[in-house]
């Protein structure tokens, strides 16, 4: 095994370290006998949201998404869409993964990403715009604010989403969000802003009908419940810098 540029390289991903331990014990052939030939082995998937048994499960790579949902005892309610990859990941429509399997290529074909190994089924009764706003606001606060996209761009996008979720946004505000998203992409010292921009842009695309409802002052959510976990008690970054970003 070689590290980056052939140099010794520390690997911090616990899942990878666990795989290395098993490969050392049972051998590479044993590991490669599992999963899809292109990306053999097993994968940990964090399944959450509208499933009966949420949790982290280990699957062979290439396992159909339908099988993963079955392992979690099926859906607990109607699903509006899936968040793939986590909060730096991508939303896909509820039916987009029907014939997908857990490989990077198959998930990408459906418009998603494996990312942090998250598969979240959003309950169709929840307001997706509120979910976008909650997560974007939290993610905007999860940086040291040292680069422009994190200091100005993400708080501004979170502020725009706040307007939209409260039915206070006009069409021009919505165009402003779409204009800001590319401005934070590939302009930070790391990929944090890119991930948030992808989370928001794919969400606005997948939930475009609900965006339109909100721009007309309505929300079709049947519940006030929120679903995606966000730590409580975090200070919103919006009032700090959001208004300054043009
Ligand atoms: S872009 Fe990355 S390095 Fe720069 S402030 Fe944001 S999180 Fe920190």
Is the full-model pTM beyond 0.75?
yes
**Domain 44-123 class in CATH:** alpha beta
Give CA–CA dist 178/117, Å, rounded: 27
**Domain 128-244 class in CATH:** mainly alpha
* Ligand 1 center from residue 200 Cα (angstroms): 17
With tokens 């607990």, the residue in question is 76
* Ligand 1 center from residue 140 Cα (angstroms): 10
42-49/118-123 β-pairing = parallel
Lowest mean pLDDT of 136-150, 151-165, 228-242, name the range.
228-242
Give CA–CA dist 164/46, Å, rounded: 29
CA-closest residue to ligand 1 atom 3: 189
Share of the chain above pLDDT 90, in %: 82
CA-closest residue to ligand 1 atom 2: 190
Residue 188 Cα: closest atom of ligand 1: 1
CA-closest residue to ligand 1 atom 7: 143
* Ligand 1 center from residue 237 Cα (angstroms): 14
- Ranges of beta strands (E only) in the chain are 35-36, 39-40, 42-49, 55-60, 79-84, 90-93, 118-123
What is the predicted pLDDT for the residue at 240?
46
Three-class secondary structure of residue 101 per DSSP: strand
Pocket of ligand 1 (CB under 6 A): 143-147, 149-150, 188-190, 192-193
What is the predicted pLDDT for the residue at 69?
98
How many CB atoms are closer than 10 A to CB 235?
Answer: 9
| 208 phi/psi in degrees, rounded to 5 | -60, -30
pLDDT tens digits along 218-246: 999 998 899 999 988 655 554 444 444 44
Domains of the chain, residue spans = 1-33, 44-123, 128-244
pLDDT band at residue 76 under the 50/70/90 scheme: very high
Residues 6+ apart with CB under 8 A from 37: none
What is the predicted pLDDT for the residue at 4?
84
What is the predicted pLDDT for the residue at 9?
80
Give CA–CA dist 236/25, Å, rounded: 47
* Ligand 1 center from residue 169 Cα (angstroms): 28
pLDDT band at residue 49 under the 50/70/90 scheme: very high
What is the arithmetic mean of pLDDT over 23-50?
Answer: 94
């Amino acid at each position: 095994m070689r590290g980056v540029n052939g140099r010794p390289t520390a690997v911090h991903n616990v899942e990878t370290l666990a795989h290395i331990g098993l490969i050392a014990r049972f051998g590479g052939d044993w590991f490669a006998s599992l999963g899809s030939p292109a990306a053999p082995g097993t994968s940990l998937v964090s399944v959450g949201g509208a499933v009966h048994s949420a949790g982290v499960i280990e699957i062979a790579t290439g396992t159909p998404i339908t099988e993963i949902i079955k392992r979690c005892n099926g859906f607990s309610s109607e699903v509006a869409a899936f968040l793939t990859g986590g909060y730096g990941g991508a939303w896909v429509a509820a039916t987009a993964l029907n014939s997908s399997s857990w490989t990077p290529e198959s998930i990408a074909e459906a418009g998603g990403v494996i990312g942090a190994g998250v598969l979240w089924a959003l309950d169709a009764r929840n307001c997706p715009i509120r979910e976008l706003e909650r997560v974007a606001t939290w993610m905007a606060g999860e940086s040291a604010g040292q680069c422009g996209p994190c200091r100005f761009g993400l708080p501004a996008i979170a502020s725009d989403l706040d307007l939209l979720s409260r039915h206070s946004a006009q069409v021009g505000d919505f165009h402003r969000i779409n204009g800001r998203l590319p401005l934070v992409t590939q302009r930070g010292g790391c990929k944090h802003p890119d991930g948030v921009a992808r989370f928001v842009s794919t969400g606005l695309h997948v939930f475009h009908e609900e965006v339109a409802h909100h721009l007309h002052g309505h929300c079709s959510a049947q519940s006030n419940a929120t679903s995606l976990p966000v730590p409580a008690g975090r200070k919103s970054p919006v009032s700090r810098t959001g208004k300054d970003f043009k």
